[in-house]
Structure 1
Amino acid sequence: MIWSSSPAVHGAPADVAVLTVIQPELFAALDALGFGPDAYDKDEAGTIYYRGAVRSARARRDYRVVLSCIGAAGNYDAAAATRDLVAWCKPAAVLLVGIAAGIRGKLKIGDVVLSDRVVAYEPAAAVVGPDGAPREERRPEIDRLPHAMNQDVVSYRPDPARLQAVFAKIHGELPAPLPGQEELFREHVVTALAVRAATIASGEKLLRDPSKLLCVRKEQHGKVEAGEMEAAGLVGACRRGGVPWLVIRGISDFGDTFKDDRFHNLAACAAAAVLADFLAHGLDLPAKPGGWGRSAAALGMALALAGGGFAGWNCVRSGGGESVAVPDANEPAGIPPIPPVAPAPASSTAPAAVGAAPATTPARLSPATLAPPATATAAAAGSAAPRTEASGAATRVTLKNIKAGDGAKIRGGNVDGQGSSDTDVNGVTCGDNCEINVGNVKNR
């Protein structure tokens, strides 16, 4: 596996969002994904996120991953955290990773299950029976894994050597039996990491009675093998947001007296190892369409202030081979959008007229027709002094979080040297053969 870290950038899009519930699950996932201290980020509500990149051997590209910890058990908190995360970084998939209880005889402690469906077993109606006696009518909510995610799960081949390498890297351990428990360990605790699909029951009850899961299996869904407290909330939030999901759970107990504190670390590390391996060798997400670049260019134009000023441009991306022009505040308004065109060679490009876009620059939407996004800001130029170039006023443009695909071209400010434009660049990622020009690149 190949890991790499990227600087934390609040609000930037992600390919995959990962949620954990408790601290051991969070730390195991951070270690398995190789996210260091520079991955840390915190939003206005105080929620902490970690950002980084994981190389996908299947998709042959880096996945941008955001990881967070709910910090409290239960489907209500899970649903709220998931909705926040989906709105914050608009992931293409959401994964829930951590520990769960299993049914003795169906699973072993240390097994890792990938959800093929989630059964929310708590919903019910309080009704009166034919005899006049009150009773509870079960009304479970059952969600099957979304088709595309299910295809990735059924085609995923977890390699024992790969899993063991990650498990050892994050200090996962298979605990030795305590005196008198040798037979129990042989029968109910794994000796090597194992992964398979299973149906997971999700409710608001902490399971300390093994008969509860058995009852859910008997009365609500005959394939239930594991139980936990967050998947139903996550699934409901993902369903509303139209985002594919997957639940990855390491089995830490059977909800009975066979317990060992070391089982929590075993289950958390096993689930985290499978998470890292599935991201690298199982999950196959399509790349974002290149049309995002054109939309971002139009939004960026809306932020330019006529006559000089400051424009902030957030979360701008371009697909491979697409040319995206960064707005200049001195460009004329009211020009309808047209498809971008490839720039002409420098030797054949004549200087543009004062106040007009260069002939090779795509036309843009008028600022009057677009509202700036909430994450962007615009303010006065401050101490920037007017310059004497043809444009007549200084412009300061800040480029943030620009993602440019292979072969893309980004032209910023007065790239043909007409007038004056100061450009700050941060968080810019450029693919193979990508070209980024900012400021007065011809030094006129």
Structure 2
Amino acid sequence: MTHRLSGSSQVDIAILTVIPPELFAARDALGIAESARFKDEVGTVSYRGRVRSALARRDYEVVLTCLGRAGNALSAAAVQDVIARYRPQLVLLMGIAAGMRDKVRIGEVVFSERIVAYEPAAMARTPEGHPHLEPRPEIRTVSHRVQQDLVHYRPDEARLRERFERRGGSFPLPSSGNEALYQEHVATRLMVKLATLASGEKLLRDPGKLREIRSLHGKTEVAEMEAVGLMEACERSGLPWLVIRGISDFGDELKDDRFHEFASRAASAVMADFIEHGLELEKRRGPGVMAIAAVALLVAAIGSGVNAWGALRGSEEPKPNAAIASEQSGSKGDTKPASPAHQVAPEEKPRSSGGPKRQSAVDPQLQSATAAPESKQPVESASTTKTKIGNLKAGDGAKLKIGNVKGEGSTDTQVGDVTCGDNCVFEAGNKGE
């Protein structure tokens, strides 16, 4: 079932694959159902799912997609689209790749420690005038955060094998006459290592070419065709990236299409295990926290304006509340301040049960929306009311609008032009200043 979406929400991890075996292996390893499929407005088919992190103790939101064709240019365009649409914290590229014989085994899984873009070069001439290709490789390493997660990740062999086999993976059996080759070069258990990957636009089917590339960086063991595009797009957006590859061939006679499925399943099992047990991502701030931060900034600005207005009013000292009350009652010469317990609010009327009833100076709408019932704290004059938002206080001039501002069905609070949703606590009254 395909769902067409015009918009999208952010995810924690974006995962890209290149060919269908990689896509289906990744979907199975992550436990993402076919029903999670949807197509966006430009026609890209993706899958959304959640992976429980044992480290972060929360679910990671993931989006999974497939390029369909190989190449760094296509990879860069796809990654840019994913970043703009989903704003992930990390972008993973998972799939198969060619490896160097005697350096890696078929079915072994490698994490990218660094990427060597081996194709940049200068067309030069030798002193004798002969054409000469001068290599100018670009070498990048994964970010410090990702590198630390890789270093501290401890793949458990039994856990990996159980995950691999439970999701449809199996170790290939040698064909007749290839028993010795399989024993020497094909993995019989899930193996994981850090490696340097060479990335370019050419499909390497010549083992000698990979050895030639190794001369550019002595740790190169793997060759593939999409990592440079991923790397460039992520670094332009300031996002960390990681490439995970299962070795499917050596680019020589030991090549079998069955290894595509084997390597894809191995890489996807390791990827899922790393996300659950090795990758630690920070929890993003939700929209409520961002709204509170915006309110805090506005309150600070309001407070600055109130202070500036107070400075412009001159050097006249404000009169104490008791003196104001004394002048309003017409008494002169009695400067003894009345205690709060003996101050009487204007227009008091006796209650039928006896005793005066104090009239609140706070706006009834604000008081009913925010103040606890039967409050025992004395309520001050409206001219000295201050408003507290969390641990921040705003003086006179902070206009508060209480109620459902935009009609979402829950109470929102508006301070100036900023609307704050649930969990914003407002306290009205004089806070001591």
1:260 is paired with a residue whose SS is coil
Residue pair 1:252, 1:267 contacting (<8 A) in 2 also:
yes
Change (3 A) 1:211 1:45: same
- Are 1:61 and 2:38 matched, yes or no? no
Equivalent residue, structure 2, for 1:121: 118
Residue pair 2:5, 2:41 contacting (<8 A) in 1 also:
no
Using the TM superposition, give the Cα deviation of residue 289 of structure 1 relative to its aligned residue in structure 2, in angstroms: 3.8
Calculate the TM-score normalised by the size of structure 2: 0.69
Change (3 A) 1:285 1:298: closer
2:276 to 270, 275, 280: 280
Using the TM superposition, give the Cα deviation of residue 296 of structure 1 relative to its aligned residue in structure 2, in angstroms: 5.3
2:27 to 11, 26, 30: 30
1:133 to 125, 130, 133: 130
Tell me which amino acid in the other structure corresponds to 2:173. A
Change (3 A) 1:67 1:414: same
Equivalent residue, structure 2, for 1:83: 80
1:72 to 69, 89, 97: 69
Tell me which amino acid in the other structure corresponds to 2:241. W
Q: How does 1:166-177 map to 2 (within 5 A)?
A: 166-177=163-174
Tell me which amino acid in the other structure corresponds to 1:44. E
Residue pair 1:8, 1:52 contacting (<8 A) in 2 also:
no
Equivalent residue, structure 2, for 1:230: 226
1:29 is paired with a residue whose SS is helix
Tell me which amino acid in the other structure corresponds to 1:212. K
1:198 is paired with a residue whose SS is strand
- C-alpha offsets along residues 97-135 of structure 1, whole Å, 9 cap, x if unaligned? 000000000000000000100001111111122111111
Tell me which amino acid in the other structure corresponds to 1:233. G
Residue pair 1:124, 1:136 contacting (<8 A) in 2 also:
yes
Equivalent residue, structure 1, for 2:181: 184
Using the TM superposition, give the Cα deviation of residue 413 of structure 1 relative to its aligned residue in structure 2, in angstroms: 5.5
1:193 is paired with a residue whose SS is coil
User: Residues of 2 paired with 1:91 and 1:27: CA distance?
Assistant: 21
Equivalent residue, structure 2, for 1:164: 161
Q: What are the ranges of 5 or more consecutive residues in structure 1 without an aligned counterpart?
A: 1-6, 302-322, 324-333, 350-358, 364-390, 400-410, 416-433, 437-444
Residue pair 2:6, 2:40 contacting (<8 A) in 1 also:
no
Tell me which amino acid in the other structure corresponds to 1:283. L
Residue pair 1:10, 1:41 contacting (<8 A) in 2 also:
no
Change (3 A) 1:9 1:156: farther
User: Residues of 2 paired with 1:140 and 1:177: CA distance?
Assistant: 38
Q: Larger deviation: 242-251 or 125-134? A: 125-134
Tell me which amino acid in the other structure corresponds to 2:238. G
- Are 1:45 and 2:39 matched, yes or no? no
Tell me which amino acid in the other structure corresponds to 2:263. A
Using the TM superposition, give the Cα deviation of residue 51 of structure 1 relative to its aligned residue in structure 2, in angstroms: 1.2
Identical amino acids, percent of aligned pairs: 52
- Are 1:255 and 2:251 matched, yes or no? yes
Using the TM superposition, give the Cα deviation of residue 151 of structure 1 relative to its aligned residue in structure 2, in angstroms: 0.5
Change (3 A) 1:129 1:287: same
Q: Which has the larger radius of gyration?
A: 2
Equivalent residue, structure 2, for 1:215: 212
Equivalent residue, structure 1, for 2:9: 12
Using the TM superposition, give the Cα deviation of residue 294 of structure 1 relative to its aligned residue in structure 2, in angstroms: 4.8
Using the TM superposition, give the Cα deviation of residue 142 of structure 1 relative to its aligned residue in structure 2, in angstroms: 0.4
- C-alpha offsets along residues 172-192 of structure 1, whole Å, 9 cap, x if unaligned? 110110000100000000010
1:221 is paired with a residue whose SS is coil
Change (3 A) 1:23 1:59: same
Equivalent residue, structure 2, for 1:199: 196
Tell me which amino acid in the other structure corresponds to 1:25. E
Change (3 A) 1:414 1:243: closer
Change (3 A) 1:198 1:397: same
1:184 is paired with a residue whose SS is helix
Using the TM superposition, give the Cα deviation of residue 201 of structure 1 relative to its aligned residue in structure 2, in angstroms: 0.5
Change (3 A) 1:296 1:14: farther
Equivalent residue, structure 1, for 2:91: 94
User: Residues of 1 paired with 2:211 and 2:408: CA distance?
Assistant: 59
Report the aligned-residue RMSD.
3.3
- Are 1:112 and 2:109 matched, yes or no? yes
Residue pair 2:108, 2:192 contacting (<8 A) in 1 also:
yes
2:25 is paired with a residue whose SS is helix
Residue pair 2:5, 2:39 contacting (<8 A) in 1 also:
no
Calculate the TM-score normalised by the size of structure 1: 0.67
2:240 to 241, 244, 254: 244
Tell me which amino acid in the other structure corresponds to 1:167. F
Using the TM superposition, give the Cα deviation of residue 62 of structure 1 relative to its aligned residue in structure 2, in angstroms: 1.1
Using the TM superposition, give the Cα deviation of residue 43 of structure 1 relative to its aligned residue in structure 2, in angstroms: 1.6
User: Residues of 1 paired with 2:372 and 2:71: CA distance?
Assistant: 61
- C-alpha offsets along residues 233-269 of structure 1, whole Å, 9 cap, x if unaligned? 1011111111011100000000111111110000000
Using the TM superposition, give the Cα deviation of residue 345 of structure 1 relative to its aligned residue in structure 2, in angstroms: 6.0
Residue pair 2:114, 2:197 contacting (<8 A) in 1 also:
yes
Residue pair 2:6, 2:41 contacting (<8 A) in 1 also:
no
Using the TM superposition, give the Cα deviation of residue 336 of structure 1 relative to its aligned residue in structure 2, in angstroms: 6.8
User: Residues of 1 paired with 2:374 and 2:283: CA distance?
Assistant: 35
Using the TM superposition, give the Cα deviation of residue 145 of structure 1 relative to its aligned residue in structure 2, in angstroms: 1.2
- C-alpha offsets along residues 7-40 of structure 1, whole Å, 9 cap, x if unaligned? 9994211111111111110000011001113422
Tell me which amino acid in the other structure corresponds to 2:182. F
User: Residues of 1 paired with 2:266 and 2:5: CA distance?
Assistant: 26
- C-alpha offsets along residues 145-174 of structure 1, whole Å, 9 cap, x if unaligned? 111100000110001111112211221110
Tell me which amino acid in the other structure corresponds to 1:175. P
- Are 1:21 and 2:13 matched, yes or no? no
2:230 is paired with a residue whose SS is helix
Tell me which amino acid in the other structure corresponds to 2:42. A
Residue pair 1:108, 1:189 contacting (<8 A) in 2 also:
yes
2:288 to 290, 293, 296: 293
Following TM superposition, where does structure 1 have runs of at least 4 consecutive aligned residues deviating by more than 3 angstroms?
7-10, 292-299, 334-338, 343-349, 359-363, 394-399, 411-415
1:250 is paired with a residue whose SS is strand
1:118 is paired with a residue whose SS is strand
